[in-house]
Amino acid sequence: MTPGDLPVYASPLATRYATPAMLENFGDRRRALLWRDLWIALAEGERALGVPITAAQVERLKASRDALDFARVEALEAELRHDVMAHIRHFGEQAGGDAAGIIHLGATSCFVADNAELVMIRDGLELLMDRLYVAIRQLRDFARAHRARACQAYTHFQPAQLTTVGKRACLWAQDLALDLEGLAALVERLPLRGLKGTTGTQASFLALLDGDHQRVRALDRHVCEAMGFRASIPVSGQTYTRKIDCWVLAALSDVCSSAAKLAVDLRLLSHKREVEEPFGARQVGSSAMAYKRNP
């Protein structure tokens, strides 16, 4: 189905501007599969630390991991009125036998919901980093090609001394490179919510592991490593601290400000006919003014 065929509203941020990889990363199927990955990691860790879970039970979870039936989940959610419980029940139906009983053992809804969200955020940031890297390389090549091409420089958008087209492109590339460094640092420090129960305590896991704090910490490390994280947030409420969301938004706003600077420069320079975007042979600049070449 193409964007124009959609019977309901769809954000143009998704239909026009998002890459297929980014849409898949934040899609319902990816989220549901991450929930299952978390349940499998939890069961594996609990078994390794002495909880009475068999290897066969874990293997049945792994064998059922990809068999998602969203119609069945929807039917269960209509009955249970709870999205996470609907997925737990569905996963248990597919795993079969006594494997259903080990799903979500000691956990709360935010164990899967918040941890999966943080995985998607991390992976989304890495996708953005890939795109930034490509953009920086393209600007590098453009700057090298036009390193000696003189052009008018401006301050306050008034004519100033000469510069080069290559130098101007280096300014754009440098900002994006700084943003790339910031994103890399954020991905490195990003924690998982980790192994927290209801309201963010670990009481349920302490009960499950006979009050042994070291085993609870080991289980937390196991889940973090299974999901590709170095550590979890030390203290949490029911949800992970929204300070992490502020970190992410700040890093994204840096990228947006650099992109906006580049875009405004191109708009102003195209008005002066100094720099223009490529324009296809059959491209239309305006429905009423065929001579226009809008940036």
The CA distance from 187 to 141, in Å, is: 27
What SS3 state is found at 167?
helix
3-state SS class at 76 = helix
Please give the Cα distance from 121 to 237 (Å, whole number).
Answer: 19
Q: What is the DSSP string of 119-160?
A: HHHHHHHHHHHHHHHHHHHHHHHHHHHTTT-EEEEEETTEEE
Contacts of the segment 52-55: beta carbons below 8 A, 24+ positions apart: 53/102, 53/105
286 is catalytic: yes
Q: Say if residues 191 and 232 touch (Cβ distance below 8 Å).
A: yes
User: Could you tell me the two tokens for 29?
Assistant: 């199927």
DSSP state for residue 195 in the 8-state scheme: S
Give me the catalytic one of 156, 204, 232, 258.
156
Q: Which residue has the tokens 């879970």?
A: 53
The answer to whether residue 82 is catalytic is: no
Q: Which of 109, 253, 286, 287 is catalytic?
A: 286
Token duo for residue 192 = 């998982």
Catalytic residue numbers read 156, 286
